[in-house]
Structure 1
Amino acid sequence: MPIIESSYKPPFLFKNGFIATVYSGIFRKIKGLQQQRERIETRDADFLDLDWSYAEDKSDAVIILLHGLEGHAQRPYVTGTAKLFNQNGIDAVAVNFRGCSGEDNRFYHSYHSGATNDLDDVVQHCIQNKSYSKVYIKGISLGANITLKYLGEKRIIPKEIKSAIAISVPVHLNGSARELHALKNKAFAIRFRQHLVDKLKVKIKRFPDRVTVEDIKSIKTLRDFDEYYTSKAHGFLDASDYYEKASSLQFLENIEVPTLIMNALNDSFLSPECYPVKEAKANANVYLEMPKFGGHVGFIQKGNIYYSEKRALEFVQK
């Protein structure tokens, strides 16, 4: 599909990618959204906590929202989208990945950038148990990579899935990991690593044969965490094997539903490989928008409705 020319123009201060990223992640607030929690069982006997919010009138459409690394369903980039869609007649279900809802999941393994079965369980729940006839998916960052990989894998995609949106998506995980370890992103990398390590510490008491205090002390970087935990816990050989197999870039050619990818050109988390121009041009279902500004999930506009949220609504309403 032809590359979309972006019309995004942020307020002057937020042309700086670092400021846009930090403001959006720490200072943005969403008020007035009521969420109701539902717990569902996964196919492997774990659980997922889903946070629902609803349109004023009964709707036959729902958007599934997937958060980023160490996020949750109350992050503003999730609730902002949910509120906007609810105001426009579409229900929203915000997924908390395993271990991200305030309670540790049941197993040693949890979630990762390429774990698509949980998304499929949520999709099936929306269709079979909730009877939605129109399902949209919006993923952010890690959740966006899961979204694209899910749509491009060799699986049967339900006809109820009408379109999808992927925001600030690291389609090439090795390249993104390389960027996250650069000096410019040191503060972000330290924050992510600490959150991940803190969760791993919780598992020590339940899985003493799998992880020890000494093991955790050896984790100095995000890649160390993926080398020690993410890869081994989820059946990969090592971090490199995980990055290669879980990256969604290789699956874009197979996507058969209209899908919007939005990656800002000043997103410091993304490597050059994360702008899939060639793949978008080769697949009529993939729309690629690359705004000059936006940082990582920081598409700020006046009125507290982000450009990425407005574009997501426009895309599903086409």
Structure 2
Amino acid sequence: MQDDDEEAGSNFPPFRQRAPWFGGDLQTLRNIICGGPPDLSGGERRLLQVSAGDRLAARLDRPAGVAAARPLVVLAHGLAGSETSNYVVQSARHLVAEGWPVLRLNLRGAGPSRATSAGHYHAGRTADLSQALRGLPDDLTRRGIVLLGHSLGGNLVLKFMGEGGHGLPVLAAISVSAPIDLAATAARMMAPRNVFYQRYVLAAMKRDALAPGAVLSADERIAIVSARSVFEFDDCFIAPRFGFKDALDYYESNSARRFLAAIERPVLILHALDDPWIPAGCYTAVDWPRLPMIEALLSPHGGHLGFHSRGGRVPWHDRVAASWLERRLTF
């Protein structure tokens, strides 16, 4: 197997695949096959108001025996995820171990937020993110905020940053395996080689949308149950619910690639070019040198939210993220 992966211009150790997880598919499936680490013990439940009567549930974990002298890292999960998703738990564990306070935000209608908020999240619903961050107490935000988004959460975070940060003390952001071109990602998910992935993801999306407590019309329930693809789910449920003409309008309006040039604060983008869910062209087509606030590390390998590397069980993207924060932010 190839052993000399190099990210052009990177100041970080290159990603090297760990046996037996060779190739984008096995890197991606490792999280499903093997699961993740145990969650941190303790943690504080926070409920953050986003609209009248609606609050997003979040979990706060603080480093043991360490004064809160660092910015708060806010994690945004991916599609059909929550604070307990394997990749979210792994990132939280590593960052807390490195001395960072971490808030895991459950998007509207996801996980514990389902009981405290009506409606559903989508790939570009940054108003909820903005309002939730505004609801944080000063003792958590006085040293600033860092956003870290996984997959769909990464697209959300990048769009938020491209919108100017909404006047909030967001110092920097990181995205991992973000579908920055939603239309291209939906098309790739429907490709014949991704039949297994699409069934898995679509089933999770339907479970999320139909879970007890979801507020849906009869027509919306029919649209969700009847969807035969990710595109149909977005076209018949997400788009009309949020006032978009159709799925393509929803994708074009919310794809992070449209917002990258407007980013004015430091951003780290981590992505694997063998990600089976997101076409490499979404990233290789971007003229990264023309985006001075963005550092893009495009690894030849790593899969989707994989990056299971040699030298330890902590995924490469988590180690790089923590190292980048240490270099970019001063305390």
The normalised TM-score by structure 1 is 0.91
Secondary structure of the corresponding residue to residue 273 of structure 2:
coil
- What percent of counterpart residues are identical? 23
Which residue of structure 2 aligns with residue 87 of structure 1?
97
Residues 186, 74 of structure 1: alpha-carbon distance in 2 compared, 3 angstrom cutoff: same
Which residue of structure 2 aligns with residue 236 of structure 1?
244
User: Which one of the candidate residues 69, 81, 84 is aligned to 2:79?
Assistant: 69
Which residue of structure 1 aligns with residue 30 of structure 2?
23
Structure 1 unaligned segments of length 5 or more: list them.
none
The answer to which of 2-11 and 36-45 deviates more is 2-11
CA distance in structure 2 between the partners assigned to 1:175 and 1:134 by the alignment: 34
Which residue of structure 2 aligns with residue 252 of structure 1?
260
- How many aligned positions are there? 315
Secondary structure of the corresponding residue to residue 91 of structure 2:
helix
Residues 16, 38 of structure 1: alpha-carbon distance in 2 compared, 3 angstrom cutoff: same
Which residue of structure 2 aligns with residue 14 of structure 1?
21
CA distance in structure 2 between the partners assigned to 1:7 and 1:93 by the alignment: 28
Per-residue deviation at 1:304?
1.7
Which residue of structure 1 aligns with residue 4 of structure 2?
none
Residues 3, 248 of structure 1: alpha-carbon distance in 2 compared, 3 angstrom cutoff: farther
Which residue of structure 2 aligns with residue 169 of structure 1?
178
Instruction: Indicate yes or no: 2:123 matched with 1:113.
Output: yes
CA distance in structure 2 between the partners assigned to 1:9 and 1:115 by the alignment: 35
Structure 2 unaligned segments of length 5 or more: list them.
1-6
Per-residue deviation at 1:273?
3.8
Whether the aligned pair in 1 keeps the contact of 2:94 and 2:318 (CA below 8 Å) is yes
| Cα deviation code 1:256-287 (max 9, x no counterpart) | 11111111011011124420553421111111
CA distance in structure 1 between the partners assigned to 2:224 and 2:95 by the alignment: 41
CA distance in structure 1 between the partners assigned to 2:57 and 2:116 by the alignment: 13
Q: Which amino acid aligns with 1:10?
A: Q
Which residue of structure 2 aligns with residue 151 of structure 1?
161
Which residue of structure 1 aligns with residue 294 of structure 2?
286
Whether the aligned pair in 2 keeps the contact of 1:259 and 1:287 (CA below 8 Å) is yes
CA distance in structure 1 between the partners assigned to 2:105 and 2:180 by the alignment: 20
CA distance in structure 2 between the partners assigned to 1:170 and 1:208 by the alignment: 29
Residues 4, 79 of structure 1: alpha-carbon distance in 2 compared, 3 angstrom cutoff: farther
Q: Which residues of 2 match residues 51-66 of structure 1 at below 5 A?
A: 51-56=59-64, 57-60=66-69, 61-66=71-76
CA distance in structure 1 between the partners assigned to 2:118 and 2:184 by the alignment: 27
| Cα deviation code 1:83-140 (max 9, x no counterpart) | 1111222100011112211463567631011111122123323464634313111101
CA distance in structure 2 between the partners assigned to 1:233 and 1:212 by the alignment: 12
- RMSD over aligned CA atoms reads 2.3
Which residue of structure 2 aligns with residue 221 of structure 1?
229
User: Which one of the candidate residues 181, 184, 195 is aligned to 1:186?
Assistant: 195
